[in-house]
Amino acid sequence: MSRYAHPAGPRHADVLPEEHPPIPPHDLTELDADVWPRSAARAADGELTIGGVGVTELAREYGTPLYVLDEADFRARARDYRLAFGDADADVYYAGKALLTKAVARWVHEEGLKLDVCSGGELAVALAAGVPPQSIGLHGNNKSVAELARAVEVGVGRVIVDSFDEIDRLERVAADRGRVVDVLVRVTTGVEAHTHEFVATAHDDQKFGLALSSGAAAEAVRRTLASAHLDLVGLHSHIGSQIFDTAGFEVAARRLAEFLTEVHAEHGTPLRELDLGGGLGIAYVTGDRPLEPKVIADRLLGIVRRECESHGLPMPRIAVEPGRAIAGPCGVTLYEVGTIKDVEGIRSYVSVDGGMSDNIRTALYGADYTCVLASRASDTEPTLSRLVGKHCESGDVLVRDLYLPGDLRPGDLVAVAATGAYCHSMASNYNHLARPAVVAVRDGAARTLVRRETEDDLLRRDVG
């Protein structure tokens, strides 16, 4: 999404793409409330504080790069979702793939949400955090027998089945253990969500789910209903991620309601649940306009209610699975500026001490981010810049186009906003960089949730 209007200055006119010419913001110190964590503020001397803790102290204590999480903000956003769906017969599952640590899993549970995991590893974190298995849903397009076995043995609340192979596998696993497992069938509705191709998940030509159009979903319903060890609770649909409107959900809900009617007619069984998945977008840059949870809840519930009424179906229990919308906005990544290279007449390349290993999203999806000088204020002339990492890739870009103060210097701290989701959870050790710590801040205090990796960590598995 382009966030800038047309440029003023001539300096970069010849090299910037016509359609994305950035203009300098009015005030480089400003913290757009839509983009930054709720507790983000500037201290009197201009230093950025989050949860009442200054970034200089955070960097001194925990090093950089550093993922900083505003705990109160995370909890508030989780609560907002629960309350938004609160009066309805509905469950909110936090999608752990966005960000999962033991503390995060506990926060989610304490705030009254359930938890969606999509691998044995995520399940292990949830269980280690003490989340009751009944509150956990297991996703995944290629769950192994071992993952299914663990889920069945601990008694997860539901498994969202994604293929015929999995239905067979899960049935064997459940039968061997004398269990009956609650399942939802993941259905692809053919909706083309308005988002990046890599994160759209309901069109037919991709790996997730069982298509309505081909009859695969109907066959999956038949097979699960016929099984003595699977209890078909309902249907699941996830149309994609970072979506700003509810139109796609509306189309998906309509198709699901039609399908529920067909299932009812064929089997005489009204399915009890409809899980509409996650995918709600957040503001990464000024101008991004996500919907409020209450608006989303009212619209989604309204859509399903209308569709069910028009098909003469009872209203099913609704579930949603927001990940990014809860974790994303409350996280910030702190970096230390290392090298500044002015490419004459083009832009300034500002290299920081992390990069695509702690945030792959810009390289992978062309994602936009907001970044500010965080350790001090400056009112010098804005310089068109590109925030880059220290990896051996020219595509190692964190923020493609941004303005930073002209007096930026090595040793300054910069902060990138809205990195709470899909940054730590997608981090790698590329170039043998140690992954950053995750720190929670709240009421003027900070604590480590995940410690920084060390050289020993990097060498531990290298046993040759």
Ligand X SMILES: Cc1ncc(COP(=O)(O)O)c(C=O)c1O
Question: Which spans of this chain sit near ligand X (rule: CB under 6 A)?
Answer: 95, 97-98, 116, 139, 201, 238, 241, 277-280, 321-325, 421
* Binder of residue 321, out of ligand X, ligand LYS, none (CB less than 5 to 8 A by kind): ligand X
DSSP string over 289-308 = -PPPHHHHHHHHHHHHHHHH
Q: CB nearer to ligand X: give 98 or 417.
A: 98
State how far the Cα of 344 lies from the Cα of 331, in Å rounded to an integer. Answer: 34
| Residue 121, number of CB atoms within 10 A of its CB | 12
CB of 180 to ligand X, least distance (A): 23
- Out of ligand LYS, ligand X, none, which partner does residue 361 contact, by CB within 5 to 8 A per kind? ligand LYS
139 is a site residue for ligand LYS (CB under 6 A) = no
Relative orientation angle of helices 120-128 and 145-154, to the nearest 10 degrees: 30
Task: Please work out the total of residues on this chain that contact ligand LYS, with binding judged by CB under 6 A.
Answer: 7
Annotation says 330 is catalytic: no
Residue 255 within binding range of ligand LYS, rule CB under 6 A: no
For residue 353, the Cα-to-chain-centroid distance in whole angstroms is 24
- Beta-carbon contacts of 343 under 8 Å, excluding residues fewer than 6 positions away, are 349
For residue 100, the minimal CB distance to ligand LYS (Å) is 12
Measured from the CB atom, the residue of 202 and 297 that comes closer to ligand LYS is 202
Using rule CB under 6 A, residue 435 touches ligand LYS: no
Residue 110 assigned ligand-binding role = no
365 is in an annotated binding site: yes
Residue 188 interacts with ligand LYS (CB under 6 A): yes or no: no
Contact between residue 330 and residue 37 where contact means Cβ atoms under 8 Å apart: yes
Does 242 help bind ligand LYS (rule: CB under 6 A)? yes
Pick 248 or 277: Cβ nearer ligand X: 277
Shortest CB 62 distance to ligand LYS, Å: 24
- 340 by Cβ neighbours in 10 Å (0-12 / 13-18 / 19+) ranks as middle
d(CA 111, CA 106): 8
- With tokens 């298995």, the residue in question is 133
Q: Is 153 annotated as a binding residue?
A: no
- Least Cβ distance, residue 122 to ligand X (angstroms): 12
Is residue 321 annotated as involved in ligand binding? yes
Specify whether the CB–CB gap between 38 and 70 falls below 8 A. yes
Q: Which amino acid is at 246?
A: T
* DSSP secondary structure, 375-427, as one string: SS---SPEEEEEEE-SSS-TT-EEEEEEEEETT--TT-EEEEES-SSSSGGG-
* Partner in contact with 404, chosen from ligand LYS, ligand X, none, beta carbon below 5 to 8 Å by kind: none
422 is in an annotated binding site: yes
Which option in ligand LYS, ligand X, none does residue 352 bind, with CB closer than 5 to 8 A by kind?
A: none
Cα 444 from Cα 72, distance rounded (Å) = 11
- We find the least distance from the C-beta atom of residue 464 to ligand LYS, in angstroms, to be 32
Contact 414, 337 (CB under 8 A): yes
Instruction: Give me the amino acid identity at 459.
Output: L
State yes or no: 324 annotated in a binding site: yes
Q: What angle do CA 262, 265, 268 make, to 5 degrees?
A: 125
The reply on whether position 97 binds ligand LYS by CB under 6 A is: yes
- Provide the token pair at 333: 């990544």
Question: Using CB under 6 A, which of 41, 154, 199, 346 touches ligand LYS?
Answer: 199
Site for ligand LYS in 222-241 (CB under 6 A): 241
Please check if 186 is assigned to a binding site.
no
Structure-token pair, residue 54: 């200054």
Nearer to ligand X, 167 or 326 (CB): 326
Q: Which is nearer to ligand LYS, 149 or 320 (CB)?
A: 320
**Binding site members for substrate:** 324, 361, 365, 393, 422
**Catalytic site positions:** 392
Contact residues for ligand LYS (CB under 6 A)? 97, 199, 241-242, 361, 365, 422
**Binding site members for pyridoxal 5'-phosphate:** 279, 321-324, 422
**Binding site members:** 279, 321-324, 361, 365, 393, 422
